[in-house]
Structure 1
Amino acid sequence: MSDDLTSTTDDSAPANQERKLEANTAHPPNTLSQKALDRISEQMIERMWQLFPTWAIHTGYYDVADQLAVPDTDHRRKVRAFANSYLHELTKLNPAQMDDDARTDLSLIISFLNKLIWKQKTFKNYEWDPSIYNVSHGFETILNTEYAPLDERLRTFSKRLQKVPAYYAAAQQNIKTPAAPQLILAIQQNEGAMSTFDDELREKVAASGLSNAEKDQFNQSIDAAREAIEEYITFLQMLHAKLEKEDGFRDYRIGKKLYAQKYGYDIQSTLNPQQLYELALKEKGRLHDKMEELADKLWPKTFEGEEAPEDRLEKIRQILEKLSLNHATKENFKQKVEEQIPELAAFVSEHDLLSLDKEKPLRVRTTPPYMRGFSVASINAPGPYDKKANTYYNVMPIAEMEDDTAESLLREYNTYLMQVLNIHEAIPGHYTQLVYANESPSLIKSILGNGAMIEGWAVYAERMMLEAGYGDFQPELWMMYYKWHLRTVINTILDYSIQVKGMQEQEALDLMINQGFQQRAEAMGKWRRATLSQVQLTSYFAGYMDIMTLRADYKEKLGDKFDLKTFHEKFLSYGNAPVPVIRELMMAEVEPK
């Protein structure tokens, strides 16, 4: 989110009454402490949206959509004051007087507030990560989400637009010594941000019902915003040239201490970073064993009459390379993605794995320019305040790439892997999980989402679908699935090795290409991503392992009464809460009293 370090000055904006009622249904108050938590959390969320209006827009809360918080020193002071004041309030409550749902909400709130303080006082990425400053996300949502008539949204857009010059002026003041990958990404994505304020926007304004004075003001604000973004880009380009000459970039590796702290806030797993890393190393070996078994099975019909190499990794690689030749074209990749979505939905329904909401359509689109440079595919889902808004499945514009780069990516996301990708991103992965999250009765659990739960569910969904018979247990699909799952495992090894152990690029590429069987273009992209983020790449494996362990333990307790669909829907009913929190709630229901 572009303004996760920004705020406004008025903490007392009126709340939408309907939203207040919805937010207050998290748990029925039955004690003084629980009533107090309801009151505090409701008030905190309203103040939070004043501090973080772009985050509010992302959740579908549009009452603050006309605000753009300026990321200056005053804002950071307000964020600290906000966090400290609510932490003080929460210490007065007695968790023993709350039900399980309320206690877990309390723990999520405390963790969130402590993280806000940690980010400002310790992590300080506002000083070294220029890519966090990008205004496009909120503006694009306002423009493309029909939560109100267009003229009303344009007036909101125009008011917000007037803050853009101050926003980027503050961003320039904040940046001290940036890390090189983050600096390069900031230049790239802010260049993409210019497309948000282009002639197409001016045409919308011209054709609108705004008055001539409003249109003049709007166009002046567009000019000022574009100039501010261009100045920020120039500032970054000059800073890059200077630091490159002096070899003065900040190290993008955050080191063991900061890594452990960030992992604690972001992942919230039952395993610590070192334990997860060691488990991933073991899992890599296990997957190689599984892939060798399948390679032996597939070799005779894939390379008829040829002798298999003795080196097992080479044997696996050759099988994968052959299977990877079955892929879409540059021109129809996005179309193939679109065609598969209804097939996945039909399988889930026919096999009674989950109930799907047919009134929440998924729209496949080309990744907008301001979001490119990070991943091949991603989901943009509406938040709990605007559940009926469009969910977008963003697909990288492979058709625009050079032939050799496109061919490498197409082989990586071949016919088999495309299916697993779509399970992960769409059905029953991210898209399905986020639809369920918006229906959670706990607004706290939906808003304060845990990345390991969200990514872990998507990884779990891949395995669950194949176990249920998707693909008719085709060995080629399972072979590619193991390759894909190996990527999840290697993500953890890669992230920890780079950020904590100092792994260099060539060693990382060897891990991904020679041990993970990834195409070079994919590996290069992942190297870049691993230098841009920290801890996030571990969320897939951490969440997956916690979910698999929970399912096994839950099934053991229920025995013959265990039902997979019931387990899935119960698990997803808790919003985006960390898996250990969900585990506590689910196991409490089946544990003997």
Structure 2
Amino acid sequence: MPIQFRPVVLATLLSSLIIAPPLSLAAKPSTVVESKKADLGFAQIKTAFLSALWQQDPDMAMAAGRYQDANKLVLPDQATRDAYVAFTDNWLAQLNKVGADALSAKEQTDLALMRNYLNGTRWYLTQFREFEWNPTQHNIAGSFDAILNTDFAPKAKRVQVAIQRLQAVPAYYAAAKASIKNPTPEHTRLAIKQSAGAISVLADLEKAASQEKLATKDKQALEDGLKNARAAVNDYVQFLENLEKKLDTATARSFRIGKQLYEGKFTADIQSSLSAEQTYQRALTARDEAHNNMEKLADQLWDKTMGAQAKPADRVKKIAMVIDKLSENHVVAKDLYPEIRQQLPLLEKWIREHDLVSLDLKKPLVVRETPVYQRGVSLASIEAPGIFRPNDKTYYNVTPFDGQPADQVESTLREYNHWVLQILNIHEAIPGHYTQLQHANKSPSVIKTLFGNGAMIEGWAVYSERMMLESGYGGNTPEMWLMYYKWNLRAVCNTILDYLVHVLGMTEAEAKDFLMNQAFQTKAEADGKWLRVQYTSVQLTSYFSGYSEILEFREQLKKQQGDKFKLKQFHEQFLSYGSAPVGMIKKLMLKDAGKQRFLK
């Protein structure tokens, strides 16, 4: 499920990463003293870079937990984009002067990530140009929500910051309208829907301000600001609605980005040693392997679930029948949130008793309804604090069933049945995203955490599902393993689906047939995934790409180290590098392996 850093979606940060020319991780200083000296000099460069970045991009600063410039609402206009391109050019020139070979391995990876970010930002602004065709990029809700709900200052101060930021909202939406050129119909419709979240957040600000004693001038600024901001949001929605009416689906820009942009974006975001097409081919093989395992489990469960009913010859149909029967075991809608909250302590207990990875229970995890402005993409997500505010609340967002017909609610609950809901909680929370991001925020490298790699983050969450079941969680029952493979097929088939849709032109009917009849997903899940694959590109490949690389690396080390391999120490060492790409972590861990740093 998607991960978010307040106040911007993590994918926005990750979309700025593109591979720089590969750096050798073997530092070649003449002495250890010279290496330390080079590292110290580079540390000063990193400090200067981050200071400049916070000024250039206050929203990214907020996402990282720095709210010094939270009162500034950056306009999405050409002047802002030109300034950002100039910023990237300036810093790339400075980083090109750094002698990479003189740095230690860890500092070389930081240098590579900085270059990745700058090159990627430039590519996105000058070539991908999503700001022109994706109106959902222009929404004030996330930043205001972060200001109001992050305890970076007393509430009265946060309200004042929000009031100051409020004054620029009309200019923000005017710039957004000017930026949009030939939007896709799909993103236009989603933007109209999500804009309701902006109105909702403005209401939250009004309510929060009513509870504070404001000076007369602040009251007036609030009143005028809210009036003008609401008018600006409504005008933007009207603009989009009028635009949508004029869009001809035959001539409007397609949401499909095509092979060239897809490969470029895959290289940028995923940072794998494989190409997008190679990863797609690997996923096809993984799908077939999953089907083989699921058939064996379905045979084992057939009499228990289906009684004397004859087995169909078609294995996919046989698997689907067993899954369909098991899926009748699910919570009722009103118990979804309580059940999720009840399961989290049980996961914590299991991890501690089996010594799988360290946990920090002092970091609050709050299960809540997904904010309106974030809905429309997935059922659940984690919204994590930035590296500079690691003790803030982490939100486990779950989208409510408001207004959904009964059959759709039932379909969703069957998808997230008794077994799958447990796996979802592993993925989103413990020991998945919540745990991994806790470790990332403790990483000594701000760079590795700030410019986190989506494939590593999502890959860890998918890996943690398998690791938990391997430890015996769920009792090693065939029901739990069958539902695990069904869930794991989501990651595998996400990759297949994304490539088929964006590169090979798969239709809606073909996509839903694929999801329901090869990935064993319910109609509600297939409907939602079709929406998601229209709204996003490449992100869906991050799950399988990262997971397969992590698992492959773990098995490589287990084979090499034999009895000396310790699972918890592998996890601790792997997570200690922040959210760096899996390939970088692998190189660093192999280098450290010789020093016995994660082996006893």
- TM-score range, shorter-chain basis? over 0.9
Report if the CA contact (8 A) 1:2-1:133 is conserved.
Answer: no
Say whether residues 1:170 and 2:175 are aligned partners. yes
Say whether residues 1:213 and 2:217 are aligned partners. yes
CA distance in 2, matches of 1:366, 1:255: 35
CA distance in 2, matches of 1:203, 1:565: 47
Q: Secondary structure at the match of 1:331?
A: helix
Among 375, 380, 387, the alignment partner of 2:378 is: 375
| Partner of residue 387, structure 2 | 384
Q: How much has 1:29 moved relative to structure 2?
A: 9.0
| Partner of residue 235, structure 2 | 231
| Partner of residue 303, structure 1 | 306
Among 81, 88, 102, the alignment partner of 2:93 is: 88
Say whether residues 1:280 and 2:263 are aligned partners. no
Tell me: CA distance 1:29–1:512, structure 2 relative to 1, closer, same or farther (3 Å): farther
| Partner of residue 574, structure 2 | 571
- What aligned pairs does 1:149-160 form with structure 2 within 5 A after superposition? 149-160=154-165
CA distance in 2, matches of 1:114, 1:33: 24
CA distance in 1, matches of 2:79, 2:36: 38
Q: How much has 1:474 moved relative to structure 2?
A: 1.2
Among 338, 348, 362, the alignment partner of 1:359 is: 362
CA distance in 1, matches of 2:308, 2:264: 55
CA distance in 1, matches of 2:227, 2:500: 45
Q: How much has 1:209 moved relative to structure 2?
A: 2.1
Report if the CA contact (8 A) 2:8-2:63 is conserved.
Answer: no
CA distance in 2, matches of 1:183, 1:4: 21
CA distance in 2, matches of 1:233, 1:42: 41
Q: How much has 1:220 moved relative to structure 2?
A: 1.1
Report if the CA contact (8 A) 2:11-2:454 is conserved.
Answer: no
CA distance in 2, matches of 1:363, 1:95: 42
CA distance in 1, matches of 2:544, 2:477: 24
Q: How much has 1:384 moved relative to structure 2?
A: 0.8
Q: How much has 1:557 moved relative to structure 2?
A: 2.9
Letter matched to residue 156 of structure 2: D
Among 535, 555, 568, the alignment partner of 2:538 is: 535
Letter matched to residue 335 of structure 2: N
Letter matched to residue 204 of structure 1: A
Say whether residues 1:184 and 2:202 are aligned partners. no
Count of paired positions: 571
Q: Is 535-544 or 177-186 further displaced after alignment? A: 177-186
CA distance in 1, matches of 2:57, 2:327: 44
**CA offsets, 1:531-562, max 9 Å, x none?**
11110000000000110111112223322211
| Partner of residue 127, structure 2 | 122
What 5-or-longer segments of structure 1 have no aligned partner?
Answer: 7-26
Q: How much has 1:563 moved relative to structure 2?
A: 0.5
CA distance in 2, matches of 1:44, 1:228: 35
Report if the CA contact (8 A) 2:459-2:543 is conserved.
Answer: yes
Q: How much has 1:309 moved relative to structure 2?
A: 1.2
Q: How much has 1:3 moved relative to structure 2?
A: 9.8
Q: How much has 1:185 moved relative to structure 2?
A: 1.1
CA distance in 1, matches of 2:192, 2:55: 28
Letter matched to residue 105 of structure 2: D
Q: How much has 1:303 moved relative to structure 2?
A: 1.3
Say whether residues 1:66 and 2:71 are aligned partners. yes
Among 552, 560, 564, the alignment partner of 2:563 is: 560
CA distance in 1, matches of 2:587, 2:438: 23
TM-score, normalisation: structure 2: 0.93
Q: How much has 1:64 moved relative to structure 2?
A: 1.5
Q: How much has 1:145 moved relative to structure 2?
A: 1.4
Letter matched to residue 549 of structure 2: D
CA distance in 2, matches of 1:557, 1:271: 23
**CA offsets, 1:98-131, max 9 Å, x none?**
0011000011111111001101111111111111
| Partner of residue 27, structure 2 | none
Say whether residues 1:44 and 2:43 are aligned partners. no
Report if the CA contact (8 A) 1:29-1:35 is conserved.
Answer: no
What 5-or-longer segments of structure 2 have no aligned partner?
Answer: 1-6, 13-31
**CA offsets, 1:264-305, max 9 Å, x none?**
110001221111100100111110110000000000111112
Among 545, 550, 554, the alignment partner of 2:548 is: 545
Q: Is 359-368 or 246-255 further displaced after alignment? A: 246-255
Letter matched to residue 187 of structure 2: Q
Letter matched to residue 548 of structure 1: L
**CA offsets, 1:43-97, max 9 Å, x none?**
2212222222222212211111111100111111111111011110111111110
Q: Is 380-389 or 396-405 further displaced after alignment? A: 396-405
Say whether residues 1:271 and 2:274 are aligned partners. yes
Letter matched to residue 560 of structure 2: K
Report if the CA contact (8 A) 1:291-1:479 is conserved.
Answer: yes
CA distance in 2, matches of 1:145, 1:156: 12
**CA offsets, 1:447-478, max 9 Å, x none?**
00100000000000000000000011011111
| Partner of residue 15, structure 1 | none
Aligned-residue identity in percent: 45
CA distance in 2, matches of 1:147, 1:419: 33
Tell me: CA distance 1:101–1:161, structure 2 relative to 1, closer, same or farther (3 Å): same
CA distance in 2, matches of 1:5, 1:511: 26
- What aligned pairs does 1:326-337 form with structure 2 within 5 A after superposition? 326-337=329-340
CA distance in 2, matches of 1:113, 1:207: 42
Letter matched to residue 192 of structure 1: G
CA distance in 2, matches of 1:348, 1:203: 41
**CA offsets, 1:477-520, max 9 Å, x none?**
11111000011100000001111111111111111001111001
Report if the CA contact (8 A) 1:33-1:93 is conserved.
Answer: no
Tell me: CA distance 1:4–1:259, structure 2 relative to 1, closer, same or farther (3 Å): same
Q: How much has 1:571 moved relative to structure 2?
A: 0.4
Say whether residues 1:109 and 2:114 are aligned partners. yes
Tell me: CA distance 1:332–1:28, structure 2 relative to 1, closer, same or farther (3 Å): farther
**CA offsets, 1:421-451, max 9 Å, x none?**
0000000000000010000000000100100
Q: How much has 1:591 moved relative to structure 2?
A: 4.8
CA distance in 2, matches of 1:325, 1:587: 46
Tell me: CA distance 1:196–1:548, structure 2 relative to 1, closer, same or farther (3 Å): same
Tell me: CA distance 1:29–1:218, structure 2 relative to 1, closer, same or farther (3 Å): farther
CA distance in 2, matches of 1:309, 1:438: 51
- What aligned pairs does 1:457-536 form with structure 2 within 5 A after superposition? 457-536=460-539
Q: How much has 1:223 moved relative to structure 2?
A: 1.1
Report if the CA contact (8 A) 1:3-1:133 is conserved.
Answer: no
CA distance in 2, matches of 1:86, 1:95: 15
CA distance in 2, matches of 1:503, 1:105: 39
Q: Secondary structure at the match of 2:368?
A: strand
Structure 1 runs of 4+ off > 6 angstroms? 3-6
Q: Secondary structure at the match of 1:332?
A: helix
| Partner of residue 202, structure 1 | 206
